Structure 1
Amino acid sequence: MYTTRNSSSSCTQGGFNLGVMHIGAPACGMNAAVRSFVRNCIYRGDTVYGIHDGIDGLVEGNIQEMTWAEVTGWVGQGGAFLGTKRTLPEKHLDQVAARLREYKLHSLMIVGGFEAYHALLQMYEARGKYPEFCIPMVVIPSTISNNVPGSDFSLGCDTALNEITEICDRIRQSAQGTKRRVFVVETMGGYCGYLATLAGLAGGADAAYIFEEQFGIQELQLDVYHMAAKMAEGVQRGLVLRNEKANENYTTDFIFRVYSEEGKGIFSCRKNVLGHMQQGGSPSVFDRNMGTKMAAKAVTWLTDQMLAHRREDGSVFCDEASTAVLLGLQRRSYVFQPVIELKCQTDWDRRIPLNQWWLKLRPLLRILAKHEAAYHEEGITVKEVEEALD
């Protein structure tokens, strides 16, 4: 594990060729990261090549040199102006290596989600066969799902949470003046329940169903009874969140029908699937600044690595695990961690980290929703609450 450090050794030495690309789904903050990367490289006297449309664009040669003016205004724009696709390099290693050799790239930065992390791991593992991959490479995690190991936060997840919370607030306000009503809302995130949990905490949800915390018909029944009891106490509106892949059989529609049937005569029920509006329009201030800082740190790290591994002919060659890394935000520090070390910390079938810090917040979510009776059997301890508040 490698933490960032300040370095001025590369400020006056240029001449390197650096590539930047996206792999995965678009997320707010991607453009801010590319803008920061391009301008920091040009400031150092290097050349930046923008690779459009991910691995597909790299294979097709959709690559162009980027200028200072070209990225003007990108910091506040959502989406990914370079274009992004989910294609992995595994089946295209020959063509990818050929393009890296053709453009004489000395290092590569990838901004993207779980696919970006997976792609870098594949290229690292192919170094023995393709020397073109023996260059410094770094991934900046960028996905609303926040499911990339090695980082507590990913670019785009803050904007997505803001969007989900605002939408849920509007949905609940739409029932102002009506009879008692419960809203069942489906969030994105794949198998990762980060969005449902944190949005539920911020939006005052009564329940948030996620894959990481298994639930069955008994839990659903208890939640319905609990909701009815709160309605009897004077609560007018309820909010239930469900992550899109929380359970194969207990779908959003199933949960909606259970609440609708069991709540007859007590409350009505409505269902909402938020869809891609969760990705947000403009990135939040947090995502803009995070993307800007992470890209700047990535440039400094890449430059240090290129200088350390530059050969007499001007090429760069490095095959150490410490030169193919993911730049993550862990607690309050930016950390460069080799992707090969993260491999064993990943649930590859469900594309989530094996350990996720936000799960400690689940007891707090239940307590704030007044679930101490319904979930008494799970034994929420004082220690768990203290950890959630830490």
Structure 2
Amino acid sequence: CPQSGYTVAVMNVGAPAAGMNAAVRATVRIGLIHGHRMLAVHDGFEGLAFGMVEEIGWNAVGSWTGLGGSKLGTKRTLPKKYFEEISANISKFGIHALIIVGGFEAFTGGLELVEGRARFEELCIPLCIVPATVSNNVPGSDFSIGADTALNTITTTCDLIKQSAAGTKRRVFIIETMGGFCGYLATMAGLAAGADAAYIFEEPFSSRDLQANVDHLTEKMKTTVKRGLVLRNERCNENYTTDFIYNLYSEEGKGVFDCRKNVLGHMQQGGSPTPFDRNFGTKMGAKAVAWITGKIRECSRHGRIFANTADSACLLGMRKRSLVFQPIAELRQQTDFEHRIPKEQWWLRLRPILKILAKYNIELDTSETAHLEHLTRKVLVPEATL
């Protein structure tokens, strides 16, 4: 390939997520096809500060598609305290653009880099963030790389756990999922595994709600129903802990059913990525490089790169089946930083279905005006060209 004379660095930030490696592989290979010199940064922003940077070639990322975790190494450290070192290394390694594949820290870290542009000229380079986290809590994207794999793990585990209640025993399982404050995993796994309740932070619940759930389940258990499944997001409520809910169900269900609890833990971050996450990561990686190449040309003046506009630091997100680039500065307003979640989340509209399938007597409004519009009305979106 004809050399472009530009150097693009790729890194992982945040917690590991299945599909990160597929995204890095696509980024490196498409970057090389575009004629760029590609650099791999190990261990996130810390690695960029301490110079853990090396050139990465075509063969170095071979067979990365099916690998879980993060081959580059990833850390949650934010860049603010390392601005001097990071700026020095951007100069030292001649980095012209940066692609960050990561979770919420990649987003907040990107915002910090943009803020640092006023003080450090070296940070005035095009920047692209590709959301990759099991929690699916990055603003600007309906999906993040790794969430599908985690969801598969949880659903499969719920299926396995439910089987242990087969036979004559009536049993209820309380299962705790990951996701921080974001209830995506608990809600979607609940929908997929047929849960009786899914407790999440976004939908506050009181002791009366818990009591109603227990009563409802107890009534169901008195019929032919043999097992119950209750999911709880890890940070849905600091007082109604998994132990509390387990104790409540155990006490109230005496004589009708017995109770078991399970905290799934870090198995949700591991495993090899599902085909969806592999392909999603590959598409996002390829798209990010194409955008970066255009931005480098746009921001190039006499062989030097200077990017300090809002649209030179973007997050690539999936919105209603289209892949779109959004300036990260604009996404700030859409974010609840205290709880590390977007202010609006599309999947919350699916929660009424969860209740109906658990045999609660509630009305489901699927009219055109209802919240479920994205399910009932198919809007034709021009397919994003890769």
TM-score tier, shorter chain, comes to over 0.9
Counterparts of 1:309 and 1:256 in 2: how far apart (Å)? Answer: 57
1:245 aligns with 2:235: yes
Distance in 2, matches of 1:385 and 1:291, equals 29
2:273 to 266, 279, 283: 283
Aligned residue identity for 2:22: A
Maintained 8 Å contact 2:25/2:64? yes
- Within 2, Cα distance between the matches of 1:52 and 1:290? 22
Does structure 1 retain, via aligned residues, the 8 Å contact 2:349–2:372?
no
| Root-mean-square deviation (Å) | 1.3
Contact 1:364–1:385 at 8 Å: present in 2 too? no
Aligned counterpart, 1:389 = 375
Question: What is the rounded CA distance, in whole Å, between the counterparts of 1:83 and 1:36 in structure 2?
Answer: 17
For structure 1, which runs of at least 5 residues remain unmatched after alignment? Answer: 1-10
| Sequence identity percentage | 57
Q: Match of 1:3?
A: none
Matches within 5 A, 1:270-309: 270-309=260-299
- Counterpart amino acid of residue 359 in structure 2: K
User: For residues 340 and 53 of structure 1, what CA distance do their matches in structure 2 show?
Assistant: 25
Corresponding position: 1:168 with 2:158: yes
Counterpart mapping for 1:94-105 below 5 A: 94-105=84-95
Alignment of 1:1-390 (within 5 A): 14-312=4-302, 314-372=303-361, 381-383=365-367, 384=370, 386-387=372-373, 389-390=375-376
The whole-number CA distance in structure 2 between the counterparts of 1:13 and 1:326 is 26
Q: Give the secondary-structure state (helix, strand or coil) at the position aligned to 2:180.
A: coil
CA distance in structure 2 between the partners assigned to 1:235 and 1:15 by the alignment:
67
Letter in structure 2 aligned against 1:50: A
Q: What does the per-residue CA deviation read over 1:342-385, in whole Å, with 9 as the maximum and x for residues that have no partner?
A: 0111101100000000000011111111112xxx5xx7545447
> Which amino acid counterpart does residue 361 of structure 1 have in structure 2?
L
Q: How many Å separate the matches in 1 of 2:266 and 2:77?
A: 20
Query: TM-score of the superposition, structure 1-length normalised?
Result: 0.94
Corresponding letter in the other structure for 1:389: L
1:91 to partner: Cα distance: 0.9
**TM-score, normalised via structure 2 length:** 0.95
Distance 2:366 2:285 in 1: 40
- Structure 1 residue 389 displacement after superposition: 3.5
Contact kept in structure 2, 1:146 and 1:153, CA below 8 Å: yes
Cα offset, 1:45, TM superposition: 1.6
Shift of 1:13: 5.9
Letter in 2 for 1:77: L
Note closer, same or farther for the CA distance 1:332–1:12 as it changes in structure 2 (3 Å cut): farther
Equivalent residue letter for 1:347: D
What secondary structure, in the 3-state scheme, does the structure 2 residue paired with 1:76 have? coil
Distance in structure 2 (CA, Å) of the matches to 1:89 and 1:111: 15
- Number of residue pairs matched by the alignment: 374
CA offset digits 1:81-100 (Å, max 9, x no partner): 00000000111111111111
> CA offsets, 1:225-262, max 9 Å, x none?
11011112201010000000010100000000000000
Distance in 1 between residues matched to 2:220 and 2:57, nearest whole Å: 59
Give the secondary structure class of the aligned counterpart of 2:213.
helix
* Displacement after TM superposition at 1:387 (Å): 3.6
SS of 2:30's equivalent? helix
**Partners of 2:334 and 2:148 in 1: how far apart?**
23
Residue 4 of structure 1 is matched in structure 2 by none
Mapped partners of 1:316, 1:187: distance in 2: 44
Question: Which residue of 1 is the match for residue 383 of structure 2?
Answer: none
Once the two structures are TM-superposed, the CA of residue 386 in structure 1 deviates from its matched residue by 4.2
Structure 2 counterpart SS, 1:184: strand
Letter of the aligned partner of 2:320 in structure 1?
R
User: Does the 8 A contact of 2:221 with 2:256 survive in 1?
Assistant: yes
* Residue identity opposite 1:318 in structure 2: A
Q: 1:154 to 1:230 in 2, by over 3 A?
A: same
In structure 2, the gaps of 5 or more residues are 377-386
- Whole-Å separation in 2 of the counterparts to 1:115 and 1:69: 29
